[in-house]
Amino acid sequence: MTQLWPAPVAAGPVRATVPVPGSKSITNRALVLAALADGRSTLRAPLRSRDTELMAAALRSLGTEVRDGTDGEWLVEPAALRGPATVDCGLAGTVMRFVPPVAALADGPVSFDGDPHARTRPLDTVLDALRSLGTEITGDSLPFELRGTGTLKGGRVTIDASASSQFVSGLLLSAARSEQGVTVVHEGPPVPSLPHIDMTVAMLRAAGVDVDDAQPNTWHVSPGPIRALDTEIEPDLSNATPFLAAAAATAGAVTVPGWPAATTQAGDGIRDILTTMGAEVALSPAGLTVTGPSRLEPVDIDLHDVGELTPTVAALAALATGPSRLHGIAHLRGHETDRLAALEREITGLGGDVEQTADGLLIRPRPLHGGTWHTYADHRMATAGAILGLRVHGVEVEDVATTGKTIPDFPGMWASMLEPVA
């Protein structure tokens, strides 16, 4: 039986400064670009978590050298990509969607598999795109085998990326290494989480890659070299949101140091969301500080571009003064778990009132009580349970260790945040 973690109740307003480790999204994109670059790259302050370790291991299996530096950095030395190789995707969407296009450049067979739930996540979009570019692939989801020839011709592909922006990013990251470059055209409902594609484009351009995204829903990467990286990874702003939410939920004040003044991270959207809910949000050289209100205001908000923030926002909405409507997030049904169903089930299980809509959630606050908060191997479900536990006695989070996917030692960080200020 999975061990239960008693979510600590806040004794009063939470007041803390919480340094947050590096961004998963930036770290894993930087690892891919470094593996394909001309020369050795240095990634400073990278996130060390299950997802990023899986990405590093996947690239090592293809021949790339990824080793530790003396100050915690990752030193990445490219080499000829080759099989046979085996890639463990775990439950990391970035690994299962970014590495196949890299493996298409390798010479030899590459087998992919992952955690049991990963086998239910959609992959046919990126695999069919690679097939249309000339790659031989057996299977449409995990497990599958890809057989590269050492080169990829490239060309134009039309996909429906409405289930995940990662399909676009995965194809773009390695496109410069193809013979003709790659043009990706999206046809279908709007692509979710567009800031993540903006992040990919910005990182490609910073590495000297020519990217044309002037036409809506069309991205073209020209063939050419990828410059070696020497970069410091920003703090993970999405992973910072549970700690900022602690301030909002308890009328406290939490500061996250190193918050960038300008960023492509979707997590930066939490600033406007918390402001709408009544919190004071201030960015200074010391970092981002959130001061919680005496009463959390309900919200009617489109989270389409920042869907990963939904579990945090849903937890706060369950503590608000009136009904909240979260919409634009139907795509979350295909994330680590069906996050809409999971949030409905778990908040309702604590006495709340949550209704699924076609593209989101309607949350009507009710008095909550303790109980088991199931996580479904989803790190963001675990942190949502911790937020509710600040205000609700007796919440026990199942498998809190799943937070190690993106946050090393979340329980320890949470406990430190709740320690009284000296």
Residues making up the annotated binding site for 3-phosphoshikimate are 24-25, 29, 164-166, 193, 308, 335
Q: Are strands 182-186 and 155-159 parallel, antiparallel or unpaired?
A: parallel
- Cα 104 to Cα 84, 118, 130, 165, distances in angstroms: 12, 21, 8, 20
Alpha helices in 116-161 (DSSP H): 124-132
What percent helix, strand, coil does the chain show, rounded to 5?
A: 35, 25, 40
- Cα 313 to Cα 190, 278, 301, 309, distances in angstroms: 22, 13, 10, 6
- Cross-strand partners of 1: none
- Cross-strand partners of 5: 397
Q: How far apart are the C-alpha atoms of 238 and 69, rounded to whole Å?
A: 26
- Cα 74 to Cα 34, 230, 236, 255, 261, distances in angstroms: 10, 10, 17, 27, 25
Residues making up the annotated binding site are 24-25, 29, 93, 121, 164-166, 193, 308, 335, 339, 380, 405
Q: How far apart are the C-alpha atoms of 334 and 422, rounded to whole Å?
A: 44
Residues acting as catalytic residues: 308
Q: How far apart are the C-alpha atoms of 238 and 20, rounded to whole Å?
A: 10
| DSSP element (H, E) containing 172 | helix 166-173
Residues counted in the chain: 422
Q: How far apart are the C-alpha atoms of 367 and 319, rounded to whole Å?
A: 9
Residues making up the annotated binding site for phosphoenolpyruvate are 24, 93, 121, 166, 339, 380, 405
- Strands (E) located in 119-217: 136-138, 144-149, 155-159, 182-186, 211-212
End-to-end distance of the chain based on CA atoms, in angstroms? 38
Number of neighbouring beta carbons within 10 Å of residue 109: 16
